[in-house]
Amino acid sequence: MLFIGICGASGSGKSTLAHALKDKLGEDRCTVLQQDAYYRDHPDLTFEERVKLNYDEPDIFDHDLLLDDITQMLRGGGITRKAYDYSQHRRSDRPEEIILPKDVLILEGIHCFHDKRLTELMFLKLYMQVEPDICLLRRIERDIIERGRDIEGIGAQYLNSVKPMFDRYIRNYIKDADVIVANGGKNARIVDILAGYVKDELGN
């Protein structure tokens, strides 16, 4: 199995690139995991308290659980589906759904290069380099349509946590990348190049 990591700012096109590569490689050969599914759960906190957590800092993720799942898949084992409910800020795992390993495993997330134990397992590390204002516009559209957020909340979160965490952590992950991807996940040429490279490594 080839393990690929896709890192970059929120709204940079990580998910788009991951699924474009999956489409090129084939559903039967590629699995995509989102680091967002591995947010730590906080059942002891009220909804109001959970809203105030910083969801853009590295420690908000359960890195040990993610590493365990990735390691299990690289060894040929299946894992249970992890999920997150953004409307309630709670984990919503699906233990009845088993994910089996395929030829290629793609992990995408804002801090998927943070845990060096994880990056050492990656065959290929991709970093999405997109202008911050474009990322912000994409985030606004996504959070309103997909996550039921309002513009005031999105703006406050961007100023209080998204931008500071990007400046402190995420922009620096570029130094860990093997390939820097410009223009977001809809860069058809880079998708073709990457898919061709991965297929060559797989032997077909």
Domains and CATH numbers, the chain: 2-202 (3.40.50.300)
pLDDT category of residue 24 using cuts at 50, 70 and 90 = very high
For 8: left if phi > 0, alpha if psi spans -120 to 50, otherwise beta; the answer is: left
pLDDT at residue 177, as a whole number:
96
DSSP characters over 89-147:
TEE--EEEEEEPP-SEEEEEETTTTT-HHHHTT-SEEEEEE--HHHHHHHHHHHHHHHH
Q: What are phi and psi of 21, to 5 degrees?
A: -65, -40
pLDDT of residue 74: 97
| Residue 52, both tokens | 């105030």
Answer yes or no: is pLDDT of 154 > 90. Answer: no
> What is the pLDDT at residue 21?
96
- Tens digits of per-residue pLDDT, 34-53? 999 999 999 999 999 998 89
pLDDT averaged over the chain? 90
Dump pLDDT digits (tens) for 123-148: 999 999 877 666 666 667 676 766 66
Confidence check: pLDDT of 28 > 70: yes
Predicted local confidence at residue 12, as pLDDT: 86
Q: What is the per-residue pLDDT for 41?
A: 96
Predicted confidence band of residue 98 (pLDDT cuts 50, 70, 90): very high
Q: Among the listed ranges 49-53, 185-189, 190-194, 196-200, which one has the minimum average pLDDT value?
A: 185-189
Percent of the chain's residues with pLDDT above 70: 89
- In this structure, of 114-118, 154-158, 173-177, the range with the lowest mean pLDDT score is 154-158
Q: Is the pLDDT of residue 199 over 70?
A: yes
pTM of the model: 0.89
What pLDDT does 148 receive? 66
For residue 28, give every residue at least 6 positions away whose Cβ sits within 8 Å of its Cβ, in sequence order, or none.
102
Note the residue count of the chain.
204
